[in-house]
Structures are given as structure tokens and as C-alpha cells.
Structure 1
Amino acid sequence: MPALHSVAPKPENCSPDQRMDDAATTNQPADAAPDKPCLAYPLQTNTQSFLQRALYPIVLKFEEIVYKVGGEDKGSCCTGKSSAREKTILNGVTGMVCPGEILAMLGPSGSGKTTLLTALGGRLYGKLSGKVTYNSQPFSGSIKRLTGFVAQDDVLYPHLTVKETLLFTALLRLPQSLTREEKSQHVESVITELGLSRCRNSMIGGPLFRGISGGEKKRVSIGQEMLINPSLLLLDEPTSGLDSTTALRIITTIKRLATGGRTVVTTIHQPSSRLYHMFDKVVLLSEGCPIYYGSAPNALEYFSSIGFSTPLTVNPADLMLDLANGIKPDSSNVIEQGNSTEQERQSVRETLLSAYDKNISTTLKTELCNLDSHSYNYAVDGSRRSQAKGEQWCTSWWHQFKVLLMRGLKERRYNAFNRLRIFQVISVAFLAGLLWWRTPTSHIADRVAMLFFFAVFWGFYPLYNAVFTFPQERRMLIKERSSGMYRLSSYFLAKTVGDLPLELALPTAFTFILYWMGGLKPEPLTFTLSLLIVLFSVLVSQSLGLAFGAILMDVKQATTLASVTTLVFLIAGGYYVQQIPPFILWLKYLSYSFYCFKLLLGVQYNDNDYYECSKGHYCRVADFPGVKAVGFNHMWVDVSVMAMMLVGYRFIAYLALHRVR
């Protein structure tokens, strides 16, 4: 592969001999790529070979990448009209990274570094043009599973330990052909390699409680991607917010991973000179336009050749960032940056763009064209088979469901059974029990009010808790779904089933306390049916909350909508307004609180029940105005309507999650 030799300093990583060795390791033909890329990671008994060698090297090329977003121009003060316009985020970025290399993307804030990295990871949607290829093939499900993407923010579950976090990731992302013990060995290898042994049993931590340090969180995020032994590793600001020593350790780890034949691309804001000299190639962006691409050690020589030399010994990254901001590298201008006018900055930028087009762009396009003449049979064949058979998953639906259910129970137990929540529910139950203490059967209005309180409290309390579920997990869902970790259906059902024991325990305790303290019908069957109705209402209410959260994906908006909805359901629930005007009567049929209240009345009373309406005089319960307005007929219809609400709301929530990207 002579073209690759002329561009990459480590051509042996892409050599046929290397592929033969890798094929021998995986017991596959040398020119074959796996139908299921995850199956390309058999357990290595040698920890170093697992962590230090990529089984399928990838040559990443990106040509003339242009990305635009729609903006809004408020228009002039004279016309007052607004017109839509486009803003160019990336403008003609071209480059290539070979196995064994680290490409660093430098540039000021807002220059398009993260956008370009997202495009290279196949995660950018919208008005994107240009060409991105992986071993001369377009992005596919096979490439996705060979790619590790580490976002700038560490999206981790706070209540899981380091080992649990990596183990659940391994169970989901490594193939089922490996046993749990073998996957656990992978986790131990990654923990050792990334220096996480000391904090292996420590919780990740979050805003409300302290966990591991920022550098350790970043290494955990990298470790999650290293579990799949990726051929392409993309990192967004891996040293952001870290001290220089921790940053050096992370980049050193990444460098060590790259030497195993991995293709590494990282964005970095302002690296120190120690970090800069660990990069093989650099792309320098200024307002979305490339002004340098090439060898990192040769960057200063290039800028000096086009008239931007400095007599001072400076960090190359500092000089490059100054140039990207339009600041000349002379000492007086650097010290007095505020004195440089916008015109001077623009002049520097135009000079750099012109020099890039003249000295780099043409040569780079020629090298990429020469590289296109070489084929990568193992990637081509794998891509064709992947397209023929469709996107494959590493694990079965049932396996994903079990692992996600287990992980959800471990994480959610701290939220569902925290002391404040338990105290809140139990204290309300006892307070309500004291208010309705042993209510006599003759006090029909109080007993009906108690049943309506059951319907209202457990119709609204779960709703407000459920609206937080998906908005809080949005970033995690995007991260894991983008990596092809699991099916959305397995995630959704695991979330639904996992919430059942946690969400139904408190209403069960509440009903036990208030039912017997309030003196309701003391028959086991009646109590059991009442409890089942309350739990049924909890599930329907929770379903509506999940739907609100999934549709809006914003806690404030979802809570506001839930408040309006609960107010309408409360008023139309059949207790406060019994003679609803005909034109708005339909509102009560949308209220699950109405059906729950009606079912509770139907369980407690029937048409032949009487109460003492005055001394020595008995009246039919069915004739009491508050009961008559609701009635107890067609109870199975009410159960069916609530069941339709339960399924319908959750189905809407599931469909809404498909829009999350």
C-alpha cells in the first residue's frame, strides 16, 4: 500500500501481514470482515494484546465537509420583517487519519471542532455535505460497532460503582458468545490499564453527593469505549477541566491505545506543549474553515514559511490558537491583543486561508485520490454482508432486557426508596387516617370523600414523579443508543417493568394504613379489590407522566402540562362538580381519576346498601347525590377504559422516544 506509506508514519498497521495476524487471532479469513462486528473480539488471555491491538484497523478520510444550520435574521428596523438564513459551521474541511495515529482538532471556542468530530462519528444530522469514509466505505452499523465515542461530558449513572458501570457496559456491548466471567475479565483488564483499581468499588457520584474525581470519571468514560476494543476512537475534549498532570496521564493512555493500531481523533481546546507533542497530526480550524492540516511537529515550520514566525520559544498550540483568532505572533500584539482591530484579524485570517489553499489543500486532495485506488477487501466484504443481512446486534433482545432491568434496579433503588419519599407517603397516610379515623357508615359524605382522596392522591403523585424519568435520562439514552448498545424496545420495557416493584410498594403501604384506620369495609376481598384498583390507577397515572416527559423532554414544560392536566382531572373527577354542563361533560371521560373513583365506590357499595341518613331513617347509598352522579354500573367498561389508557399512554411515550437523537 504505497500511498498509505507516503502519508502515515506507521504503515505496518494497515499491512496485509497485520490483517493475516488478526485473522488468525479471530479464526477468520484474512480478507473477511465479520457479519457481526462485535464477534470480532474473542477473549484474549493476554491482557496487553487485548488492550493494545486493534483487530480491524480503520483508515478514516473526510473530504470537503460542509455543515450548515438554519438561523433567523430579525431584519431591519425599517421593514420589521424576519428572514431565514443559514450559518456555516464547517466549510470544506478535509483530512485523513491512519491506524496508529492521533489527530488533534484545535481551534477557538465555536470553531466547529465538536461538530466535525460528531460528523466523523456518524452522529450528525441536518445539512451535512461532503464525504466521510472508513476504509473507503460509508458509515454503517458495522462501523458503528467498531467506533468508540467519548463525549466531553461524562454521562454516567451516579449511584453505580466504577466496576458496576463497566460491567453493565460489557454485558451490553460484548457478544453473547463470551461468558459473564470472560466479560468480567475484560472489565478487570480495562480497570487495570486505565489505573482505576483504587476506586473500583467507589460510586461515580453526582451533584448531590461526592464520588470519584473528574479525571477518574473521564477514564471511566474512556474505559466504556475500550471494552469493545474499538478500531476508531473519537474523543471530545478529554482533558477539559482537568489539571495538567491528570490531562497528561489521560493523553498518555490514549497514545498507548493508539500504538495498538487504533485510529484516534480528539478535539482539544488549549493543550500544553507536553500534550501537543504527543499528537501525530493536527487540524486547525478558524470559524469552521481549515487553516492547517498536517504533521503536528511541522506546524511551526509551516507557519514560519508563510510569514508567521515568532522569535520567542512558545507552545505551538498557543501560537496556532492566536493565529486562528487572527492575532499575529509578534510579542507586542500578543500582549496587547485588545489593540488589534477586526480588520487586522480578518486580514490575518484571509492570509492563512489563502496559504492553506495554495500549500496544503491541493497536495492533500492528491494524496486522498491516490489512496482511493487501493481497496480494503476485509472492510468491503463486511460492509456488503452487513447491508445484505441488516444491522446486527451484539446481544439478543432478552439479554438486553435482563441487563437493563438489573442496572435500572440498582440505580433506581436510591431514588425510589429514599427516606424523604417514604416519610412523605407514610406521614400523609397516617394524617389522613387520623382525619378519617373510624368513619361511621352513616357519615356517607366523609366516606365518599375518603375514596375520592385515594383516587386523587394516587392519580397525581405518580404522575409528577414519572415526568422526570425520560428527561433526566435523555443524555444517557442518546449516548448509549448512538453506540448501538441496545434496542429501544428492550430499554423501554426494562424501564417499565423495573419501575413496578419500586412504584407499587409505597401505594400498597399507604392503602394498608388509610384503609383500616379510615374504617372502610372490613372484608378481605373488598380490601384486595380496592388495593388493586389503587395500584391500577398508579400505573395509568405513571403512564401519562412518562408520555408527557417523553414528548416534551423538558422537566419544566412537562411539569406545567401535568399541573394543568391534573387540575382538569380533579375538577371533572365526579366529586366537586356533579352536574357538569353537557357541552363539557366529555372531560370527565378523559380523567382516569373519575374511573378510579367510580371503581372504588363500586367495590365498597352496591345498589342494596343503605346508610342512616337521619336518626332512625335509612336511605339507599345509590341515591346519595355524590354517588348517584358517578354510579356503579358498567364497572368492566371502566376497567377496560383504564387499560386502554395504560397501554395507549405508554405506546405514545415509546413512539416519542424514537425522536430522541
Structure 2
Amino acid sequence: MLIDQLRLRLRLRLRLRLTSQPLLILSVAQLILSNSNKPDVPTDRCPTCPECFNCQLPRFVCRQYGDCNEYDGQCKCPAGFGGQDCGQPVCGSLADGDRRHVRPENSTSCDCDEGWTGVNCNVCENDDSCAALIPPYSPGKLLVQISDPQKNRSEAVCYKGGFAVNRNYQMCNVTNRKILDMLPGRLPQVSFTCDIPTSTCQFQFWIGSVESFYCSFEECSQSIQVGYEGQPNITRQDCQRMKCKCIPGKMLCGESGSVDIRDFLREEIKGPGKFSCSSDQQGCRFEEPAMNQLISDIFGDTSITLNCQSGECMHYTMVPGFQVPVKPDNSQMVALSIAFTAFLVILASCIFWYYGRSRAHKYPAFQGRIRLPSEEDQSLFFDHIPTDLSFYKISYSVPGQKVVLREVSGKAKSGELMAIMGASGAGKSSLLDILAKKNKSGLVEGEILINDKQISNDYFKNLIGYVDQEDTLLSTLTVYETVLCSAMLRLPSQMSTESKKIRTLETLEELGILHLKDVFIGKSGRRSISGGEKRRVSIACELVTSPSILFLDEPTSGLDSFNAYNVVESLAGLAKNYKRTVVFTIHQPQSNILALFDQLVLLGSGGRLVYSGAFSKCHDYFEKIGYPCPSGYNIADFLIDLMMTSKSRSATPVESGSAPSEQFLGDGKQAASSLTESQQISEEPRGTVLLTNKASCHSPGSSQTKRKQKLSTGSQGSSSRLRSILADSENDTSFLDELNQFFVKSDIYKCFTKDLEAARANELLRSDELDNLIKHLDSRGSSRVGLLEQLFILSGRAFKNMYRNPMLMFSHYMLAILLAGICAGLFRNVTMDIGGFQGRMGLFFFILSLFGFSSLSTISIFNQERLVFMRERSNNYYSPISYFVSKVIFDLVPLRIVPPFILGSIIYYPVGLVASLEQFWKFCLVLISFNLVSSSLVLWISLLIEDVGIANLVGSLIMLFNLLFAGLLINREKLAHGLRFLQDISFFHAAFEAMLVNEVRYLTLKDHRYGVDIEVPSATILSLFGFRTTAFWWPDMMILVVMFLTFIVLSCLTLIIFVKERR
């Protein structure tokens, strides 16, 4: 079936040329399709004697394009062929000369002499087989033939390189798969011979050791391409003219059952022809345009592929010498590779920029007041267990300094607003930090209870929100983006993104900063929003999550009276409407803000507790102890002045053993009725409370002089009673100690302690409530966004921070471009001599120094966000791992990977480094790996050392230490054996050695000094400097990879373990 297809294709191919010769086409077709021979017709006549062979007659030809002798009409056959027409292969070997015998007609193989092979025994296999062909050489005499070849074995060589010196013989097996499939059991082969003096070549095609057709090449030229750095050597025979002939009756040339390509060979094959061989596994190939087209049409290959064995006998002095490989010019490929990579970087940057711009202004539409969807509103705010906060005898002292807090107690119920007031330095912020369970550097004592029970810190963090006194916000984000980031990280993961955005806008509206949603936070020197607006943004970041307990440190600082009232009113609404507990410190509130307080904790100097209880009873309490608020005077100002005045006030000595008058302290029943009265007052409208407070302040006068006089004397009856109480004090204490002791013995404090003891006694009765709270906290904690989503959110924030503050990235890029231009000019076209070797070493050393010391900028990158990270981590925004990975991605990729690639791409071609695509990418790989190692090391230093100056000093010293042992300044062989490990742990040495090995390992340095030509391999020079010529992948690149991973892991562990907020 396949033979029929080949016949049909050949008919179609020849039809165009033979349409004018129908009889010839018919005869060719009959010859191809004929499968039987007619029997000879018997005749009675004697047979005619055959005509004598004469190559000068038209009916006789010399095959293999042999020469015809014009004198005797006989053919002069090329080596390896014999018979009258040169149509038979001969056996033996080339050493037999004209004495070689023709292969038997019925045989398909020759008995070659030892050391010879091939269909016609033309290819030598070893040097001994050539001894008979190569005469010895004697000085001053011509080459002469000798009879004893044994004496000449040491001088004869069988050269198998494929490069023809005089006359080269090759025997090849065809490797085209389809041709082999068509000829099972009949190996197709090619013999190829080139004669250099005549610039001709001969080609024979064999099937089953039987010749099918032969070709002759003229005007041939030979070339060799020496492989560079492990690339194969390629020899080529390019011939301009070519002609071929078929041997009639043979396979492919008229044999029964086969195709006939005689006309194709005669009319189509004209040349040029090329025979090329590669020293690697690719083998050889024969190419000619018409032949390639036939092979492609019939067999699907591009040319005839071969596996050849070459052999040429010659004197050892004629063996081709070593040729220095020419450095290939791959500059176009390198340039295209650089351009493509730059295109990808620019495309990715544009996509990120467009994505950031498109999402920056994509806000949900809203009209009027913003409301959450009803079902998610319920889930976020009303699916909540009321949480009471109690604290008992909280004390705090700093070792070696002073006592900050002294047994402070109090309670804030769910739905209440507790204010902590006191003079400056009284310990308000310290108390708030302790209540929020922040890490404190001193000793903390006392109990903090949730619903009268102690819970773990992990559960507690899921309950609270904390707004610090100092704003720590990223200056490159807008107000909306800042609050939205908090919402996305901390609100339940079941809540839709759209609802989180709406909740963010609602929070901004509640705090009166919705009109600033698109304004950047800004920083000192380039401020966009005011300090008061920053405070409200900080509050919004916590308020957006609607925590069960919200702690705020001076939330009204920096705000005017109107905005301060709005902030506190929002807090009060959150407490009342959604049953949240709000605790905050405040310094000196105005009267309308005071009316919003439910509980008040008043601290004196040294952290002494002066009052803790319902704010509605505060006025009456101080009036009873002899310090009524003057009429029309703000009670907050009065209390602060009272605390400040107490510093210069001395108490009257009291008698030991006396107790306070029961008229003021009362018994348990009076305390209970007082508490009931307090609850009734707290349930009244807030405006009524404020009016009641004013009404109770009946003393006339409001001037500073009268107030001091009032504080000094009090009402006459109250002062006498107070002096009688103080007279019973056990110790001679200060005025604030006396106020503290009086409060501890008051009915309010006794009622608080009795409630606490009763709660402890009923612990089993409230266990179900505690279990429900823990279950609620577990569900809330598990509903937080996962690590992957945290990474996505933080990566988006880091990307915005990067492209909105581009100066650092821009400076790195411009520095790389500028210094690349300088290096390209200084080291342009380095030569292949000793000076060029020095230039390469200097260039690599300078580049590594540049990137090593420029990586110190990593210190400032993290230091700018250290406080932000500690605050957000303390407030349970995210896992430290998520933050670390996002910082690594958006610091290492744009600042530590792109600049080395930019510099390497610019300098590589102008400097004249190895123009190989593999070497170029290895060069960039080493630069990038080194930059990653140095940056990860500096990142670890910046995490360990908080002070920027000290961190820079330590980083610089470590860089100099590594630079010292890079290998240029100190030779490895000159180091003591015990100190050589210092070079092994130097990442400068690993990168420097890898770059040198990649560049000069296979180069040969040539120089001319003092009339002497010097030619030395670069590997020798590397060894003299103490470098290992095979150390690129192992150990150099492996050291860089291991060091990078080690420093990254150490940095992550340092961030998790040591970088925490401590107050």
C-alpha cells in the first residue's frame, strides 16, 4: 500500500515536466508497475557475442562519475569501486591500492582487512591500520615508502574528526524513521568522500549494501565551527553544484515493486548540496533543496539524517591543531531576552497601577443615612452577650522607680460609659493599659474580671478594641482605606465585603469624617488632615468592629468642643444602643460631655483611688466629705483642681484608733439604699443628671480666690466633721491618702466589694453564662479572616504604600541605571588578556559592594512601620506571619530583584561579558540571589535592633567583614586552616566566586609581554586566586540559597517572638 502511494506521488511530481512526452510516461509507468518477466523466446540462432566495453561509446558509462581513459576506453574508478564500469564495490583496504578485489556479485558484504570498515572498506578504524599508507619522515629527506609498516606505526594516525585534510571517507547509516520503516531488514546507508585538492565530493546511497544511486559534488568548500563552552563542533561541506544518477534495476531506480526516481534525480537535483556533521548526538545530515522537498513530501522529515563514522589516514604532524573557539555573538538573543523581561515588568506594573486606581474610587452608592442590611446588622451588633468589666485592687509599680497605681477598683456594666479622670501623671493611661491587658514592663497586681469571672488573654483580645493616645496611621492611605483595612481584617469573615464597606462608611459618618474619605492621612511636613481628624480616624478603626469592650486613651485630645462632644456622644450611643462597655480616659471634659458619663474613676497623684462609682453620686459624695462643688462651676474642673491643690495641702494630725463617723459612712442598709438611689439616678435622662449636679452646687462664688478659700475651709459643719474623722486615722498621711482611705471605708466601696464577693460565691450559678460567653468568643475568633486572606489584604495595603511613596523605589532604580552607565563606560569591551581578567574581577567586586551596602535601606523601611505593626498586632488585627510575608513580597521583589536585573541588563553587552544566554541569566541569578541574602540579613538586624543608628552601624560592619573575605583582598590559600571557614560563610565570597566562574571558566587569556606570547586558561588564574573553578552551583549558589532562607526564617521568628508592644 505504501509503495502504491509513493508511485502516485512520484507520478504527480513528474507530470509537470513530462507532459510533452506521453510515450516516455507510459514506458516509465509500465516499468514501475511490471511485476512479471516474460519468458525468453527460444531461437535456433547462435547468441550474439557481447560488445567489448568502451567508455567512449554512448552505451557505456563510468559509474561513480569515474574518469574514462581516452586511449583504451577503460574507466579509472574512485577508491572503493572496481569492475569495468566502476559499478562494483571492492574489498580489502585502501592499503591494497589497485590490488583490491571486487566484491562477489551474489554477495552483499565485503571481507575487509583488519582495522577497516564500510561497504567498500574505505574507512579506517585505528592508527595501526594506517601504518602501511604513511611513509616515515626523515629530516632533510622526502617522504619515502618503506616495506616494513611496523616501523611506522607510531607516526600514522587514523583521524576520525570528520574534518577532511586530504581525502576523507565516511560511512553513514540513515536514521530517518520512515525510511527505515519502509525497508525492514534492508539497512539504508550512505558513503561520502571528499577530496580537498580537487574540491570535489562523492556520495553513494546504498540499500542492503547494494548501491541505488550516486552523486557528484563540485566547487566544494569545507568549514568547521568550533563549539564554545561545551557546545558541539560542526563540520560542513558546502558544494555549489551537484548531479546524480540512478543505477538501473536497483531499488528506487526501477527495481520491480519500487518507485523510480531516475527522472527526478536527473532533472531536479542540481544543488547546492550540504553535508554537515555535529560532534554531539545529533549526528550528520545531507541537504539539497529538491531532495529536502522530496523527503518532506514523502517521509515528513526536513532532510536525510545520518549517523556517520569517519576515517582518514595521515601523518601525525598533519592532524588539525586546536582552534580557539570564537565567542558567539548572542547579543541579539540577550537583548531580546532583556526587552521581553522588561516588557513583562512594565506590563505587570501597569496592571497593578490600573487595578489600584480602579478600586481606589469604587465605593458603594449611598443616599442619606447609611445603614447595613438588616440581617447583617443583627449579626454584627445584636448577636452579642452583654459584658461587664470589673477590676479589683489593681496596683502597678515599676522596679527601681515608683508606684504608679495603688489598689484601684471599679466596675463598668454593659451599656455604660466609664470615664477615668485625674491630674497629669496620676496613672490614667497606665490603668487603661492594664485593664486592656497590654504588655507592661512593670509589676501588675490585682484582678480583672469579665462578668465577674476571669478569662484567658486570648478570649479577652477578641472582646476588646483599643484606641491609643498617639495616632499610628499609614500616611499613604486615605481615610476610607485606613478604616476599611481594619474592617476587612477584623470583622467576621461571614460578613460580605460589600457590607464591610458600608459599615466603614457608616462609621465615618457617625464620627463626622465621611467628607474626608478620599483624603490621604499625610504625615509631618506634608499633612493632609488635622490632628483632631486623625484622632477620629483612629477611633473609627476600632469602632468599625463594634467591640464588646472599647478602651480609648484620651479620645477627645486635639478636638474642639463640638467634635469632642460628637465623639463621646457616639461612644455613649454605642454603649446604650448596642449594650457595649466603653472605658476611656479624659483629662478635663466640658459640662455637656460630663452629662454622658455613667461611671467615674478619679485618680489622684501617685495612682491613689479617690473615687470610683456612679457619676451621678460623685457630687453628693464630695459634698458629704466637706468638698462641695461651687455653684455654677464645672465639677470636672473642681475635681481636677482638688487633686492639684492637694499637693500643697497638709492634713491635720488625727488620733490613732478612731473610726470615721457613722453619720457619713453609714451602715450596710444605708449603703444598699445609697446604691439603689445611684441606680435610679443613672436611669434618669442625662440632661437631668447634669441639671441636678448644678442644682446641688449651691455655694456662691466662682472666682479662683473664693474657690481656694472654699477648698481650704469648706462649710463650717463639714470641716469639723472631716477633722474629727481624720483625727481617728492610724497614720500621719497626706491629703490624698486621707481621701483614699475615706473612700475605701465608704458605703460605695463596701457595696462594690460585697457584690464582688457575692458573685464569687455564686460562681456555679453563673457558669452557664460564662460558658455562653466563651462559646461566643470562640465563634467570633474562628470567624476572623484566615491567613491567606490576611496576606491578600496586607499585600494590597503594602502595594498602595509602595507606589504612593515611590521615592525609595525610584532612587534604587535610578541608582542602578546611573551606576550601570558608569560601569559600562569604564569597563567597556574588556579584553581577553590579563588586564581584562583584572577588569572583570574589579567590575564584579564593585557591583557586589554596591548592592551589599544599598541593602541597608531595608532598616528604615521596617523602622517606619514598627510602631504601626506593634499597635495593630496588639489590637489583634492579623497574624505576624501574614504581615511578614506581605512585607517581604513588596520589599524584595521591587527593591531587591528588579534593580540587579536592570544593572545587569545594561552593562552585560557593552562590557563584553560572555554573550551567551545561559551565562547572562546565570549572571543575573547570582546578582539577585546576593541582593536577597544581604537584604534578608539587614532585615533581621532591623528587627533585632530598634535603634536605627546602631542597626546601620552593625549592618555596615557585617558587610565590611563579608567584603574582606570575598576572595579579592585575602587569598584563601594564605589563610590559616582554622580561619578558612570565615570565607566559607561569607556570602560576598560565594557570589564573587560564582560570578567569576560563570564568566571566565572556559576563557583562554592571551597576552604579549616582553616579546613572549602568553596563552593561559582562565581557570588557572582562578585557581591562583584561591577560587574553585567548579563551584558555581555547589557550593556557591547553594550557600546563597541556604543563607537567604536562614535569614528569612530568623527574621520571621524575631518578629513573632520579640517585636511586641511593651508599655
Change (3 A) 1:309 1:388: closer
Q: How many residue pairs get matched?
A: 598
Tell me, what secondary structure is at the counterpart of 1:259? helix
Provide closer, same or farther for how the CA distance between residues 528 and 89 of structure 1 changes in structure 2, counting only shifts above 3 A: same
Q: Distance in 2 between matches of 1:168 and 1:330?
A: 50
Output the CA distance in 2 between the equivalents of 1:151 and 1:394: 22
Tell me if structure 2 keeps the 8 A contact 1:323–1:348: no
Spell out, residue by residue over 1:577-614, the C-alpha distance to the aligned partner (whole angstroms, 9 max, x if none): 33654254433223211111111111101155324364
Q: Which residue of 1 aligns with 2:232?
A: none
| Equivalent residue for 2:432, pick from 105, 117, 133 | 117
Unmatched 5+ stretches in structure 1: 1-41, 72-85, 340-344
Distance in 2 (alpha carbons) for counterparts of 1:160 and 1:652: 30
Q: In the alignment, is residue 481 of structure 1 matched against residue 880 of structure 2?
A: no
Distance in 2 (CA, whole Å) between partners of 1:189 and 1:134 is: 29
Q: How does 1:521-600 map to 2 (within 5 A)?
A: 521-578=914-971, 581-582=975-976, 584-600=979-995
Q: CA RMSD in A?
A: 3.0
How far is the alpha carbon of 1:392 from its aligned partner? 3.5
Asked if residue 431 in structure 1 is aligned to residue 822 in structure 2, the reply is yes
Q: 1:508 aligns with which of 901, 911, 919?
A: 901
Does structure 1 conserve the Cα–Cα contact (< 8 Å) formed by 2:412 and 2:418?
yes
Distance 1:132 1:478 in 2: 23
CA 249–311 in structure 1, closer or farther in 2 if over 3 Å, else same? closer
Structural mapping, 1:80-159, within 5 Å: 87-125=402-440, 127-140=443-456, 141-159=458-476
1:643 to 1010, 1025, 1041: 1041
Give the AA of the match of 1:277: A
Give TM-score, length-normalised by structure 2. Answer: 0.53
Equivalent position of 1:352 in the other structure: 739
C-alpha distance in 2, partners of 1:310/1:187?
42
How far the C-alpha of 1:655 sits from its partner, in A, is 1.4
Evaluate the alpha carbon distance shift between residue 347 and residue 527 of structure 1 in structure 2; reply closer, same or farther with a 3 A threshold.
same
Q: Is the 8 A contact 1:107 1:284 kept in 2?
A: yes
1:410 aligns with 2:800: yes
State whether structure 2 residue 620 is matched by structure 1 residue 301. yes
Q: CA deviation at 1:660?
A: 2.1
Match of 2:549 among 203, 209, 232: 232
Distance in 1 between the 2:550 and 2:844 partners?
59
Counterpart in the other structure of 2:1059: 660
Shift of 1:408: 1.5
1:201-260: per-residue Cα shift (whole Å, max 9, x none)? Answer: 111112252222222222222222122221111101112233333322222222222222
Q: Which moved more, 1:524-533 or 1:581-590?
A: 581-590
TM-score normalised to structure 1 length: 0.83
Aligned to 2:397: 68
Aligned-partner residue type, residue 427 of structure 2: G
Corresponding residue for 2:40? none
**What are the superposed Cα offsets for residues 473-511 of structure 1, whole Å, 9 maximum, x if unpaired?**
222222222222222222222222233331222222122
Aligned ranges 1:236-635 → 2 under 5 Å? 236-260=553-577, 261-286=579-604, 287-309=606-628, 311=630, 313-325=632-644, 326-327=646-647, 331-332=704-705, 347-359=734-746, 360-372=748-760, 373=762, 379-382=769-772, 385=775, 392=782, 394-415=784-805, 418=808, 419-442=810-833, 443-462=836-855, 464-503=856-895, 504-578=897-971, 581-582=975-976, 584-606=979-1001, 609-612=1004-1007, 614=1009, 616-624=1013-1021, 628-635=1025-1032
Shift of 1:48: 8.0
CA contact (8 A) 1:607 1:621 kept: yes
Which sits farther off after the overlay, 321-330 or 133-142? 321-330
Task: Summarize the Cα distance change of 1:613–1:241 in structure 2 as closer, same or farther, 3 Å threshold.
Answer: farther
Checking the alignment, whether the CA contact within 8 Å between 1:397 and 1:487 is kept in structure 2 is yes
Distance 1:551 1:218 in 2: 31
User: Residue 394 of structure 1: SS of its match in structure 2?
Assistant: coil
Q: Per-residue deviation at 1:532?
A: 1.1
Structure 2 contact 462–780 (Cα < 8 Å) conserved: no
Distance in 2, matches of 1:363 and 1:179, equals 46
SS, match of residue 188 in structure 1? helix
Higher alpha-carbon deviation: 410-419 or 322-331: 322-331
How many angstroms does 1:317 deviate by?
A: 1.9
Amino acid at match of 1:215: G
Q: CA 1:54 to 1:124, structure 2 compared with 1: closer, same or farther past 3 Å?
A: farther
Contact 1:175-1:395 at 8 Å conserved across structures: yes
Q: Is the 8 A contact 1:54 1:231 kept in 2?
A: no
Structure 1 residues 312 and 589: alpha-carbon distance in aligned structure 2, compared to 1, 3 A threshold: farther
Q: Distance in 2 between matches of 1:435 and 1:608?
A: 21
Change (3 A) 1:274 1:438: farther
Which AA in structure 1 matches 2:933?
V
SS at match of 1:645: helix
Structure 1 distance, partners of 2:984, 2:628, is 77
Please say if residues 462 and 777 of structure 2, whose CA atoms lie closer than 8 Å, have aligned partners that are also in contact: no
1:17 aligned residue: none
Shift of 1:627: 6.6
Q: Which secondary structure does the structure 1 equivalent of 2:471 belong to?
A: coil
- Contact 2:608/2:736 (8 A) holds in 1: no
Alpha-carbon shift at residue 152 of structure 1 (Å): 1.0
The structure-2 alpha-carbon separation of the partners of 1:206 and 1:440, relative to structure 1 and needing over 3 Å to count, comes to: same
Residue identity opposite 2:828 in structure 1: W
- Contact map agreement 1:470 1:553 (CA 8 A) in 2: no
The 1:393/1:457 distance shift into structure 2, 3 A limit, reads farther
Whole-Å separation in 2 of the counterparts to 1:388 and 1:650: 32
Displacement after TM superposition at 1:128 (Å): 1.9
Letter of the 2:871 partner, please give it: K
Q: Distance in 2 between matches of 1:506 and 1:165?
A: 30
**SS state at 2:865 partner:** helix
2-side partners of 1:346 and 1:516: how far apart?
86
- Larger Rg computed on CA atoms: 2
CA contact (8 A) 1:234 1:265 kept: yes
CA distance, structure 1, for counterparts of residue 375 and residue 874 of structure 2: 30
Task: State which drifts further: 253-262 or 367-376.
Answer: 367-376
Judging changes above 3 Å, is the alpha-carbon distance between structure 1 residues 588 and 90 closer, same or farther for their aligned structure 2 residues? Answer: same
User: Which protein has greater RCO, CA pairs closer than 8 Å, 6+ apart?
Assistant: 1
Are residues 244 and 507 of structure 1, via their aligned partners in 2, closer, same or farther at CA, if it must alter by over 3 Å? farther
Task: Compute the displacement of 1:563 (Å).
Answer: 1.4
Which range is displaced more, 650-659 or 506-515?
Answer: 506-515
Instruction: Tell me by how many angstroms 1:147 deviates.
Output: 1.2
Aligned residue for 1:82? none
The AA in structure 2 aligned to 1:395 is V
Distance (whole Å) between structure 2 residues aligned to residue 293 and residue 61 of structure 1: 11
**Contact 2:463 / 2:777 at 8 angstroms: preserved in 1?**
no
CA deviation map 1:321-348 (0-9, x unaligned): 2232325699449789xx9xxxxx9732
Instruction: Specify whether residues 471 and 646 from structure 1 end up closer, same or farther in structure 2 by C-alpha distance, changes over 3 A only.
Output: same
Kindly state the Cα deviation for residue 626 of structure 1 after the two structures are TM-superposed. 9.1
For 1:213-228, list aligned pairs within 5 A: 213-228=530-545
**Greater displacement, 185-194 / 611-620:** 611-620
CA contact (8 A) 1:59 1:263 kept: yes
**CA distance 1:282–1:156, shift in 2 (3 Å):** same
Counterpart amino acid of 1:629?
Answer: G
Deviation for aligned residue 1:169: 1.8
- Does structure 1 residue 210 correspond to structure 2 residue 535? no
After superposition, the Cα gap between the structure-2 partners of 1:565 and 1:415, relative to the gap in structure 1 and judged at 3 Å, is: farther
Give the secondary structure class of the aligned counterpart of 1:269. Answer: coil
Task: Check 1:536–1:114 CA distance in 2 against 1; reply closer, same or farther (3 A cut).
Answer: same
Cα pair 2:452 2:756 within 8 Å, conserved: no
